[in-house]
Amino acid sequence: MTGYEVLGYYVCNDTTIEEAGPADIFVAIDEGHNRLTVYAPIGQHSEADRGYVKECQTITKEEYKQISKGIYTPAEYL
């Protein structure tokens, strides 16, 4: 993947950080389109509205790694 920027790490807006598991967190990636690409450590890429991402709770990279429980995330997203 080229021409992208990792915007940050997030917990879905309907989950608290204390309850979050690998399916509840994601990396937001800006590829210069209207919608963002998001990657969840359960191995999926999808799209999300920028407004949705703004509603989600920001977490640190370290929190993302801990919550993902070692499930693969591409190195370029970390």
Higher pLDDT pick, 44 / 66: 66
pLDDT at 6: 95
Is 0.85 topped by the overall pTM? yes
Given the DSSP bridges, would you call strands 36-40 and 57-59 parallel, antiparallel or unpaired?
unpaired
Q: pLDDT digits over 10-61, tens only?
A: 999 899 999 999 999 999 999 888 889 999 999 789 999 999 999 999 999 9
Report the distance separating Cα 49 and Cα 42, nearest Å. Answer: 20
Give domain limits for the chain: 1-51
Specify which residues 9 forms β-bridges with.
27, 59
pLDDT at 2: 63
pLDDT at 33: 83
